[in-house]
Amino acid sequence: MESVLYWNPVVNEAAVVAKQDKFGGSTPCAFVCLESAGLDCSVPSEKDIMEFCRKWLPHFLAPKTVVFTEELPKTSTVQKFVLREIAVSMG
């Protein structure tokens, strides 16, 4: 899933974690850092990112939630446990 997000030219960094849904299952939640504003393109919406992913991924693998952030929490790698905590706090 993350590799598909990187195909989008406006995505600088991306990470995907599971987010619990209201039915007791989980859905993909993408955290996205956009490229610098120096690009001559409009800022995508959550819907734009989800539609981009749906072009390349099966429906069940495409993110159902997109969170735009300035940077991803990292040490030497992305700290997905921090992103999971954020996804849980979103409800």
- Over the stretch 3-26, which tens digit does the pLDDT of each residue have? 999 999 999 999 999 998 888 899
CA distance 27 to 30: 10
Fold held by 2-89:
GMP Synthetase; Chain A, domain 3 (3.30.300)
For the chain, domain boundaries? 2-89
Region 57-65 average pLDDT: 94
Q: What pLDDT, in 10s, does the model give residues 14-58?
A: 999 999 888 889 999 999 999 875 555 678 899 999 999 999 999
The reported pLDDT for the residue numbered 64 is 94
- CA nearest to 12, candidates 31, 34, 27: 34
Retrieve residue 88's tokens: 């849980």
- pTM of the full predicted structure? 0.84
